[in-house]
Amino acid sequence: MRVIHRANTCFSIFSDNYHILFDPWLNGPAVAQGWTQFPPATKKIEDIPKPDLVYISHIHSDHCESTTLDGIDKSTPIILMDLPPNFLHKMLLGKGFKNIFPLSPRKIHKLDNFKNLSFEVFGAGGDHIMANIIDSGLILQIEDKLIINFNDNHPTESQCHEIKEKYPNIDLAFVPNGGGSGYPAMYSNLSIAEKKEIFKNVMDRFNESFTKAVDILEPVITIPVAGGFAIRGDHPIETNYLQVRHLDQTNIINFYKEKSQKKSNIVPMQPDMEFCLDEQKIISKPYTPWTKKELDQFFEKISKHEIKTNITTTSKAPGFLKMLKTARANMWKAQEKYNFLPEYRVYLYEENYDSLYEIEMHKDHLQETDVIDKTLPYLKISANQDTFLEWIMGYEDFNMLDSGHRFKFFREPNTYVVEVYFSLSLFRL
């Protein structure tokens, strides 16, 4: 049985009878066009063998990029977790896929025409609101091998114990050791030194979470995944050094060797690397960290990539304030539903027209203003008009624009308020 890395969390599993593809992202940019694969994919979806089955963990475009999906035969069976509201299922139907199998979580499933295969999907661990709405992981029994794919779904200790009790002998686990957001790189309230320290702390937490999960699960082989991206568009090189998780994956091996007593075999992989699960060894080129010169050149290259927005305007949109107020009313309904009413302000700064809008999160209020009222904690979001229109008109989700580094932020104090960020994902027409 062979495992081939394609890009990010996209992998091929080849058994004697099947090619199973995980989280297809090979062709175009992802995450509001802000991400390219790092290390970059070397093949397009058209260049790899046709998959017999596809598993998609969730709807984020770094796991099911649109032009990559366009290159997959529409009769290909696709499995996903059945969790209302199933955004992914609806999107795939809109793409024309004919054999979609939403699987209820925490049950063992089999599909007709797939002998020696069984599946169990499970939801995200922890208390992250957005993750619990959309994210999933997969337990795959393929012939005599048991494979767990967490993709970027960071497991909790209790979740790992539960899985280990049910599946004591795990051959291969894809365990996340990364993630993506605009924090800290896009927050101008932070100095470069503060950003570096925050990034180090973030990576320490990822490494610790990874190590705990592997120690509990005790897979024979562990492949670190997630965070396989670099940031496109007009950003300084330093932005990538502050955000890219896998500049050198040998770091997690060293961390694991130092902190763990169990010593699972940690196998970092790059695009086109191939691992034989039966022989437990790499059967292709070895993992090779990029040099500083190579990284600089790559980051410089992708900084010149143009971000093509879904909306392009040449003048201030008529009725823009009215649209913002409509989006505010919709967000307020959601805030009342979830009782998310923090004493907090959000400011939207339209860069190209020097316009500032104030939202009070604890009441149904939005107005154009000239000043920032600092009597309450606040978050300032800066972008051009086209990006704001993409957001409120539903072309791009707030979380994707954030992760794709399409916004600039300033917040005081520098504290993540989950009710605010969740509510902003519902600020739309």
Quick one: pLDDT at residue 133? 62
Section 86-109 average pLDDT? 94
Name beta bridge partners: 37. Answer: 229
Give 5's pLDDT tier (boundaries 50, 70, 90). very high
CATH code at 54? 3.60.15.10
For residue 310, the model assigns a pLDDT of 86
32-46, 249-263, 351-365, 409-423 — which is least confidently predicted?
A: 249-263
- Containing domain of residue 81, as a range? 2-303
- Taking a C-beta distance cutoff of 8 angstroms, is the pair 34, 307 a contact? yes
**Which DSSP symbol is given to 50?**
P
pLDDT averaged over every residue in the chain:
93
The number of distinct structural domains making up the chain is 2
Higher pLDDT, 168 or 309: 168
The CA distance from 266 to 122, in Å, is 23
Domain termination site, one of 258, 275, 303: 303
Answer whether residue 380 shows pLDDT above 80.
yes
Residue 313 belongs to a domain: no
Sequence-distant (≥ 6) Cβ neighbours of residue 223 within 8 angstroms: 3, 5, 11, 172, 173, 174, 175, 266, 267, 268, 269, 275
Reported as a pLDDT band with limits 50, 70 and 90, residue 12 is: very high
Pair 143, 199 in one domain: yes
Closest CA to 35 of 66, 4, 72, 61: 61
SS in 3 state form for 129-161?
Answer: HHHHHHCEEEEEEECCEEEEECCCCCCCHHHHH
Determine, yes or no, domain membership for 353. yes
Reported as a pLDDT band with limits 50, 70 and 90, residue 138 is very high
Residue 248: pLDDT above 80? Answer: yes
> Both 92 and 230 in a single domain?
yes
387 pLDDT exceeds 70? yes
Rounded average pLDDT over 355-361: 97
Evaluate if residue 314 carries a pLDDT over 90. no
Q: Show which of 243, 277, 303 is a domain's final residue.
A: 303
Verify that 254 and 397 share a domain, yes or no.
no
What is the mean predicted confidence (pLDDT) over 135-149?
95
312 inside domain: no
63 CB-near residues (< 8 Å, 6+ apart): 8, 9, 10, 23, 24, 25, 56, 57, 151, 152
Spatial CA neighbour of 399 closest among 62, 139, 103, 65: 62
Do 67 and 185 sit in the same domain of this protein?
Answer: yes
219 with 330, same domain?
Answer: no
Q: Is residue 26 part of a domain?
A: yes
Kindly indicate the confidence band of residue 245, based on its pLDDT and cuts at 50, 70 and 90: confident
Q: Considering the domain boundaries, does residue 429 fall inside one? A: no
For 206-227, write each residue's pLDDT tens digit: 999 999 999 999 999 999 999 8
Q: Which residue, among 125, 107, 231, 249, has the nearest Cα to 178 in the 3D structure?
A: 249
Per-residue pLDDT band for 127 (boundaries 50, 70, 90) equals low
Output the domain CATH number for residue 411: 3.30.1050.10
Q: Indicate whether 297 belongs to any domain.
A: yes
In a domain, 236, yes or no: yes
130 pLDDT band, cuts 50/70/90, is: low
Q: Is the pLDDT of residue 129 over 90?
A: no
- Whether 41 shows a pLDDT value over 60: the answer reads yes
Q: At what angle do helices 192-217 and 157-166 cross, to 10 degrees?
A: 20
393 φ, ψ (degrees, to nearest 5) = -90, 0
pLDDT in tens, 143-167: 999 999 999 988 999 999 999 999 9
Give the rounded percent of residues in the chain with a pLDDT score beyond 70.
Answer: 98
